[in-house]
Amino acid sequence: MTIWADMLAAQSAGPGWLGSLVSPWTVLTYATVTVVLLYFSSRTRLPMLYAVKSLWVAGTILAFLWVVVTSMGSNQQFVQHPERAISQFFDPHQRLTFAAGLFALLAVAAMVLMGRILPARPLQVRRRRAVLSLRIALGCVAAGVLLVAAHFNGYGAWYASYATALLVAHMGEYAVNSALIAVGSVLLTILTASMAAYALSRLTFAGRDAILYAFIAGLAIPGQLILVPLFLMLRHWTLPAAGFSFMDSRFGLILIYSATGLPFTIFLLTGFFGSLPSELGEAAAIDGCGEFATFRQVYFPLAAPGITTAAIFNFLGVWNEYNFALVFITNPRLKTLPVGLYTLNVSQQYAANWPALFAGIVILWAPTFLIFLLLQRQIIAGLTLGSVKG
């Protein structure tokens, strides 16, 4: 709680921002209006786009770097003086870290240039993948060299905050919970949704459209609406004999996430199954396949791209989900990562421990970042498939 009191104390010190005539908000608004005006002149358009984009990306990179660097410092070292982090690695007197920093810079430059040196044409999938993994490997090597050099040069225990976050603040346990819940609910969602989507797009039966509309109407239901009724309902649903209850249970959360993920997944997969040619099913029928075999052996494998997309989106959605986990999990050992991070942020003993908190943020981001880097193409394809053409 102290950190909030400090903030309020610091803020009530006085207005004083350039004599309070302008505020960041007016600056941002005028900048945006200027940028829009510059867009409508062909002479200023390209320079303006470069400037805005570079500024935006520079800010993003700065924020990410700040998080990573602060998460590796000791408690007060970089929190109050983030600029010192740079001098740590580019201090010519410390030869080891200086060399490591130089190497890392070169490695990053090589990573950036590699796309130019080894260009892959759109259809050269293997080559593209090779270049991508080479880039990632180079980045990992650079980061490793930096860390090892820092360790040997008395930079301090950069891993201390990660150890605190993972072991003392239980972020490791929370990550395992999150991963289990995410994988479980993705499998369940994909299984049930692909079956339903196949029936809704490739079979004819009475009431097909009504059922499809009912599922799609589920997209409009806010999670907040079903939160309380679900809570009132599920707190009674226990199986004492099997030791199962919906409250404080990973499996219960998996069921809830699968159910809430169904409308979007069915919406996406119905479009995907519907776009596959029907001749394949007919050929399978001639060869003696029943409805289930046709689904399992013909259409399910063919829908792999759509199913991958649905799986990615569901995984990210569940990994990042917060509202239901906050309500249905109260046992500290069963918390998911976002809830754990939230409690880490507000709990007395960690609120002022910036490195541990930032280590927690990095732990939360890392899988997302990895998935994003590796599967960006599918993600973009899925996003545009789901909404632009749907």
Partner 1 sequence: MIVRGRHPHLRQALAAALLLAPAAALFGVLVAWPAMRALWVSTQRWTGFSPRTEPVGGEHYATLFGPTAMRWMPLLGAAVLLLGATAVAGQLLRRSRPTARAQRLARRLGGLAMLGIVAAVGTFLLVWLLVWNDGDSFFRGCVRNNFTYMIVGGLFHFVYAFLFAAALGLPAFRGKAFFRTMIFFPSFISAIGVAMLWQRIYDPSNGLANFLLRLCRIDPFAWLSGDNMLNSIIVCGVWAGVGSQMILLLAGMQRIPPTYYEAARIDGAGEGQVFRHITLPMLREVILIVLTLWVIGSLKVFGLFQAFTISHTEKTSVVSVRQYELAFSNRDNIYMMGYATAMAVVLLVLVVLGTMAMRSLREREPLEF
The footprint of partner 1 on residues 175-234 (CB under 8 A) is: 188, 191-193, 195-196, 198-200, 203-206, 208, 211, 214-215, 218, 220-233
């759109």: which residue's tokens? 122
- The least CB distance from residue 99 to partner 1, in Å, is 27
- The least CB distance from residue 215 to partner 1, in Å, is 7
Closest of 353, 321, 19 to residue 163, by C-alpha: 353
Question: 23-42: which residues touch partner 1 (CB under 8 A)?
Answer: 23-25, 28, 32, 35-36, 39-42
Other Cβ atoms within 10 Å of 312 Cβ, number: 18
- The least CB distance from residue 185 to partner 1, in Å, is 11
Cβ proximity of 334 and 247 under 8 Å: no
Alpha carbons within 13 angstroms on the beta-carbon side of residue 225 total 6
Contact string 74-103 vs partner 1 (x = CB under 8 A): -----xx-x---------------------
Q: Which of 114, 143, 187, 327 binds partner 1 (CB under 8 A)?
A: 327
The alpha helices in 153-278, defined as continuous H runs, are 160-163, 171-202, 208-217, 223-234, 250-274
Cβ proximity of 234 and 246 under 8 Å: yes
Contact string 99-128 vs partner 1 (x = CB under 8 A): -------------x--x-------------
Whole-angstrom distance, CA of residue 157 vs CA of residue 59: 28
């990632």: which residue's tokens? 136
Whole-angstrom distance, CA of residue 132 vs CA of residue 377: 12
Q: Is 300 in the site for partner 1 (CB under 8 A)?
A: no
Q: Is 384 in the site for partner 1 (CB under 8 A)?
A: yes
User: Smaller CB distance to partner 1: residue 4 or 152?
Assistant: 4
- Token pair of 21 as six digits: 């005539």
Q: Is 281 in the site for partner 1 (CB under 8 A)?
A: yes
Contact string 346-365 vs partner 1 (x = CB under 8 A): x-------x--xx-xx--xx
- The least CB distance from residue 153 to partner 1, in Å, is 25
Other Cβ atoms within 10 Å of 314 Cβ, number: 25
Whole-angstrom distance, CA of residue 326 vs CA of residue 339: 6
Q: Is 366 in the site for partner 1 (CB under 8 A)?
A: no
Other Cβ atoms within 10 Å of 59 Cβ, number: 10
The count of residues interacting with partner 1 (CB under 8 A) is 122
Other Cβ atoms within 10 Å of 37 Cβ, number: 11
- The least CB distance from residue 290 to partner 1, in Å, is 7
Q: Is 251 in the site for partner 1 (CB under 8 A)?
A: no
Cβ proximity of 271 and 305 under 8 Å: no
User: Smaller CB distance to partner 1: residue 151 or 376?
Assistant: 376
Q: Is 244 in the site for partner 1 (CB under 8 A)?
A: no
Q: Is 388 in the site for partner 1 (CB under 8 A)?
A: yes
Give the binding range for partner 1 (CB under 8 A) out of 89-97, 118-126, 147-155, 250-258.
250-258
User: Smaller CB distance to partner 1: residue 96 or 173?
Assistant: 173
Question: 142-161: which residues touch partner 1 (CB under 8 A)?
Answer: none
User: Smaller CB distance to partner 1: residue 89 or 315?
Assistant: 315
**Widest CA span of the chain, in angstroms?**
82
Closest of 107, 99, 96 to residue 142, by C-alpha: 107
Whole-angstrom distance, CA of residue 366 vs CA of residue 377: 19
Q: Which of 110, 259, 276, 302 binds partner 1 (CB under 8 A)?
A: 259
Give the binding range for partner 1 (CB under 8 A) out of 84-92, 94-102, 141-149, 290-298.
290-298
- Token pair of 298 as six digits: 């013909």
Give the binding range for partner 1 (CB under 8 A) out of 92-100, 153-161, 285-293, 301-309.
285-293
Q: What is the 3-state secondary structure (H, E, C) of 243-257?
A: CEECCCCHHHHHHHH
User: Smaller CB distance to partner 1: residue 163 or 326?
Assistant: 326
